[in-house]
Amino acid sequence: MAAGRSLSRSERKAAARVEFLRQEEQRERRRQVVPGGQKSRRGGASRGAGLGNTPPFPSSLFPSFDQVSRILRKPAADRSADEAMLLSGCQEMVRDLERLRKKRERLRRRLEEVCDEPDELKRKVSKLSAVVQGAKHLIVYTGAGISTAASIPDYRGPNGVWTMLQKGRSIRVTDLSEAEPTLTHMSIACLHNNKLVKHVVSQNCDGLHLRSGLPREALSELHGNMYIEVCTSCTPNREYVRIFDVTERTALHRHQTGRLCHKCGAQLRDTIVHFGEKGILQQPLNWEAATEAASKADVILCLGSSLKVLKKYPHLWCMSKPPRHRPKLYIVNLQWTPKDDLAVLKLHGRCDDVMKLLMDELGLPIPSYDRMKDPIFSLAVPLQPAEESSHSRKPVAPPTSLHEVQLGEEQQMHPDPPSGGWFGRGCAKGTKRKKNS
């Protein structure tokens, strides 16, 4: 999904994850425990009271949240006798603090990136290779992690979009026109050409699967494609593939690109599915093929996805089937995912590293990306003369040296970084667009 200007419910929930712990600690600091059997303002018994009506120490010395927290941070051997007695007198507060600490630690561990040792990773890849060769219907689910090698940030990694926003840090602007299919993209396309992969379901909007040569019928881009705009007034919908990012003027619940259908004259719209939206377009989302492939799958390979969004699509996991009849799950990701416990095998490694080892095991050479064979140039619909000024995005460089020279000159003349669009909106969250006078 793409980052929008205004935060949806899902985004707010994700952004509040870290904020929750800070707020919880502040609430506890404001809560002064009342000694003995005295009632609090809520009408309940005191949280810090002992078993009887008499506190184990004078009320003037009754511990605060901060005092207990500081003592608990000390090793048990370093605590004084008075501190040990103080803790024994407020066991409920101690239990609350321990629960909070464990929850904070659990969240921290889930955000950590873990890499398997080289020998361990090779051992796991060898197992995965046997599974890939023996699978009758293998499908691949991909996330932002397979595009980080193309300098496109992910969302939940240490430097991901949501991670940086939660920390209140700015996001670097990325020129997506310069991104090329990675080793993982090319490996997946090769596996499909060799009939080892039946279908690919992607959460990515960057269009790199399409540009790797993967056939359209074998691809479901559940959250859209930044290079495709459609006319929904035509039946069937008329699709326009461009060589530039069509989302410059679009955002959450605002999808019109400013260009018109060449046939009926209606407004074109982008294909991006933002957080909080439901994808309704047949293409490039291709939900029908995705659910059909999932129903036939005996193996699912997840590459570079946190699965926090994909887990919400039950049709992709065949949850209506008995557990023993569901496809076997294999996950490649550096961080924890909510499907880890269901996976037959979890490989902690970077997608390019794992796919290189896998292709070596399978004895398949990984094709290099060739701009001359990039399907986007043959699929692209040229702009009409009146539409040339409808965008300011840098196009994908055509496979000719002349155009590369021209684009280099244009880049020197227009050095400003791109803004807006499905990725840029998330980077510029909170800013307001100035109206042209």
For the cut 90, the answer to whether the pLDDT of residue 366 exceeds it is yes
For the cut 90, the answer to whether the pLDDT of residue 214 exceeds it is yes
pLDDT (mean) for 413-431: 42
Task: Write down the mean pLDDT value for the chain.
Answer: 79
Alpha-carbon distances of 420 from 26, 250, 259, 425, rounded to whole Å: 36, 8, 17, 5
Rounded CA gap, 140 and 162, in Å? Answer: 24
For the cut 90, the answer to whether the pLDDT of residue 101 exceeds it is no
Residue whose structure tokens are 């004078």: 58
- Residue 66 is predicted with a pLDDT of 78
DSSP run (H or E) holding 289: helix 287-296
Q: What is the pLDDT of residues 369-403, one digit of tens each?
A: 999 999 999 999 999 999 989 998 889 988 865 35
- Residue 18 is predicted with a pLDDT of 55
Rounded CA gap, 141 and 303, in Å? Answer: 6
For the cut 50, the answer to whether the pLDDT of residue 431 exceeds it is no
- Residue 120 is predicted with a pLDDT of 96
pLDDT (mean) for 216-222: 96
Domain ranges of the chain: 65-111, 114-223+285-368
Residue whose structure tokens are 């009939």: 195
What size, in residues, is the chain? 437
Q: What is the pLDDT of residues 248-269, one digit of tens each?
A: 999 988 999 999 999 999 999 9
Stretch among 10-24, 174-188, 294-308 having the lowest mean pLDDT: 10-24
| 264 annotated as a binding-site residue | yes
For the cut 80, the answer to whether the pLDDT of residue 322 exceeds it is yes
Rounded CA gap, 180 and 376, in Å? Answer: 12
Fold of 114-223+285-368: Rossmann fold (3.40.50)
DSSP run (H or E) holding 83: helix 81-88
| 318 annotated as a binding-site residue | no
Rounded percentage of the chain residues whose pLDDT exceeds 70: 71
The alpha-carbon radius of gyration of the chain (Å, integer) is 27
| 90 annotated as a binding-site residue | no
- Residue 65 is predicted with a pLDDT of 73
The confidence band for 275, taking pLDDT boundaries of 50, 70 and 90, is confident
Rounded CA gap, 176 and 178, in Å? Answer: 5
Could you give phi then psi for residue 119, rounded to 5 degrees? -65, -40
- Residue 311 is predicted with a pLDDT of 83
Greatest C-alpha distance within the chain? 88
| 302 annotated as a binding-site residue | no
Structure tokens at 174: 């990325």
Nearest to 184 by CA among 349, 327, 330: 349
Query: Hey, which residues are catalytic here?
Result: 223
**Tally of CB atoms within 10 A around 235:** 8
